[in-house]
Amino acid sequence: MTQPHSPATTLSVLPAVDDEAPQAHAFPPAHHSTQGTSSLPPQVASPTASLDDLRLRMCEQEAHRAIGLAERTEQQLHHAEANLNRARQVLASLGERPKAPSTPWLLVSLASGAIALTFTLTLHDLVFAQLLPSTPAALFAGFASAMLISGTLVASLIGSARLETRVSASKGRGWLVVMLGIAVALFAMRWSMAHTMGAKGLAIGMSLLEAFLAISVERVADRLRHAWRQHVLDDEAWQAAARQEKVAALWREERRDEHQQAVTTLQGLAKRA
């Protein structure tokens, strides 16, 4: 009969347990599989919403730019209109364009005819009476020649008034000196031919008449010369005002076109909005 084992015997029979040995787990550790799963990204806004916001901001910026451009062009248009009004006022204050001084051709003709009469008698006696046997032909030839000479001198003296330079007066007085020189030369010729007191008196009188007519024509030319100088100044002022008015009008038109274009752009943006 076998005897029951004692507790000591039982303990001796059981194998010794190593304290350092890893303890067995009843369930193996759970292994998390990474296959089929991934970390979720952070929440991202909708692309459509982002484009709408961007489009809205761009439209707002474009609208602000269009409004600013319209305001600037409107201010420039007001300035251009003010400049145009001032230019028109200046031009209106000057009145119509100044007219050129009229030449007293009737006086010129009378002076030329009077001088030609004094020249005619001298030329007849000195030149044409010796060349032409007929007295009427000699007188006519003398008068035609005298009229040509006196007309050229008087027309030159009056015409010098239109020379609007600083030397115009000296040129006019130069023609006067030429006329007086001719009168002195004719007086010398008449005096040499005069043998009586009457002939000598006639020579003196004709020379004095020629000098008086020449000086009278010079006085008329001098007044005409001053009138031409004043006309040139007035005409230059009028032309400057007219040019200024034209430039102001063109500038106003350019500013108006720019403002109209800016307003049209702004209206287009308003319709799209």
Domain ranges of the chain: 105-217
**In terms of residues, how long is the chain?**
273
Cα 131 to Cα 122, 138, 216, distances in angstroms? 14, 8, 34
Quickly count: other Cβ atoms within 10 Å of residue 133's Cβ. 8
Specify the amino acid at residue 92: A
Query: Cα torsion for 152, 192, 208, 144, to the nearest 10°?
Result: -30
Distance separating alpha carbons of residues 86 and 80, to the nearest angstrom: 10
Which pLDDT score is estimated for 55?
A: 67
- The arithmetic mean of pLDDT across residues 36-62, rounded, is 60
Question: Is residue 18 over pLDDT 70?
Answer: no
Question: Is residue 247 over pLDDT 90?
Answer: yes
Query: Cα torsion for 16, 22, 28, 30, to the nearest 10°?
Result: 160
- The arithmetic mean of pLDDT across residues 33-38, rounded, is 43
- The arithmetic mean of pLDDT across residues 134-158, rounded, is 86
3-state secondary structure of 18: coil
3-state secondary structure of 158: helix
| Of 84-88, 135-139, 162-166, minimum mean pLDDT range | 162-166
The residue assigned the tokens 């009843």 is: 26
Which pLDDT score is estimated for 34?
A: 43
pLDDT more than 70, % of the chain: 76
Which pLDDT score is estimated for 170?
A: 54
pLDDT digits (tens, 9 = 90+) for 181-228: 888 888 888 888 778 888 888 888 888 888 888 888 888 888 888 888
- Please tell me what DSSP assigns to residue 162: G
Mean pLDDT of the chain: 76
The residue assigned the tokens 């009378």 is: 110
Nearest to 210 by CA among 243, 181, 239, 248: 181
Contact 258, 79 (CB under 8 A): no
